[in-house]
Amino acid sequence: MAQVNADLFNQQKLTAMAEQSLYEARINLGRVIGLSNEESLRLDFPFNEFPGITESQYTTDLDRNSLIKIAKEKRSDLKAVENISEALEMQYKLAENNTKPQLDLTGFVFYGSAIAGNGVDKTFSSFTNNEGRNVGAGAKLTFTFPVNNNLAKGNYAKSLIALNDQKVANENLQRNIELNISNAVNSLDNSVIVLERAKEALDSYKDAFNNEQVKLQAGLTTILNVILFQERLTSSELEYLKAYQQFANAIINLRHETGTLISQGDKGFTLNQEVFYTIPNIANY
């Protein structure tokens, strides 16, 4: 009886901890979606179940190279750094041109008293009896050769360094994307294995617990053994739920790394509920 009471008190402790976790989950969910404290506590259990392995369209031979290609087309951060590189490339070319000799051709037009040699007495002559007399045009050719132009050389050096730094950052980002996708695929594969083994363990514990109940009715075991088998079954159910959560998180992580979690169209960014439950379909991209 002492052992039974100890198990009972332990289960009461675990129940209190589970109730606290449920309370925090409701409060945190309500905080995110803008609910008050009372509205958050009225949140019911999730309507949607965890994604199934079959329904997620998971396969054991996911093509990492195709997923990396999708990421390079969909990742907004990669597009942003590419635009930055283009801007720095233009600044670099401008700085490079400023260090070279320049030949400028300038055209000009003059009218009326703007012509050299006109006297004060002819200032308004073009508006009276000599209309159009002093209209002309010309051109000027200027050749500039920078001698010891340290400012242009300094700007050129700064632009070159900024461009090279950005190229290194771009290559590093692409390398991290490839590594993260590889890690996400490996994590997904492992989560599937863990989930399958957890399901097999749960089914075995259910059979063992049912068999122990039959033995108790036949007088072949004690109530203490039944309680122990029930504890193992409860622990197995918790491990099974954790494995399912790990599998769902692995899908979300792969979606995030490939840039397919949120879609961008003519009407802006959209979020499809199916992306939380399915693997990116390479044929759709």
Domain membership of residue 95 (yes or no) is: no
Longest dimension (CA), the chain: 135
129 and 197 part of one domain? no
Domain membership of residue 4 (yes or no) is: yes
Residue 92 and residue 157 in contact, taking contact as beta carbons nearer than 8 Å: no
Of the residues 128, 145, 162, the one at which a domain ends: 145
Q: Can you give the pLDDT at residue 77?
A: 85
180 and 232 part of one domain? yes
Domain membership of residue 276 (yes or no) is: yes
Domain membership of residue 92 (yes or no) is: no
Q: Can you give the pLDDT at residue 221?
A: 87
Average pLDDT of the residues in 109-116: 57
pLDDT at 201 over 50: yes
Domain membership of residue 134 (yes or no) is: yes
How many separate domains does the chain show? 3
pLDDT band at residue 115 using 50, 70 and 90 as cut-offs:
very low
Question: Which of 231, 92, 233, 219 is closest to 164 using CA atoms?
Answer: 92
User: 138 CB contacts (<8 Å, ≥6 apart)?
Assistant: 107, 108, 109, 110
pLDDT band at residue 119 using 50, 70 and 90 as cut-offs:
low
Cβ atoms < 10 Å from Cβ of 187: 16
pLDDT at 108 over 70: yes
- Separation of alpha carbons 261 and 198, rounded Å: 28
Q: Of 60-69, 240-249, 267-276, which has the strongest mean pLDDT? A: 240-249
37 and 58 part of one domain? no
Average pLDDT of the residues in 190-206: 95
Residue 164 and residue 137 in contact, taking contact as beta carbons nearer than 8 Å: no
Average pLDDT of the residues in 221-238: 89
29 and 167 part of one domain? no
pLDDT band at residue 262 using 50, 70 and 90 as cut-offs:
confident
Domain membership of residue 94 (yes or no) is: no
266 and 215 part of one domain? yes
**pLDDT tens digits for 14-64?**
889 989 999 999 999 999 989 998 899 888 887 777 778 888 888 888 888
Average pLDDT of the residues in 83-104: 83
29 and 64 part of one domain? no
Higher pLDDT, 269 or 176: 176
Domain that holds residue 58: 51-87+152-284
131 and 156 part of one domain? no
- Separation of alpha carbons 188 and 249, rounded Å: 9
- Separation of alpha carbons 171 and 169, rounded Å: 5
80 and 183 part of one domain? yes
18 and 81 part of one domain? no
pLDDT over 90 percentage in the chain: 28
15 and 121 part of one domain? no
CATH code, domain carrying 62:
1.20.1600.10
129 and 246 part of one domain? no
Cβ atoms < 10 Å from Cβ of 154: 12
pLDDT at 189 over 80: yes
- Separation of alpha carbons 71 and 254, rounded Å: 10
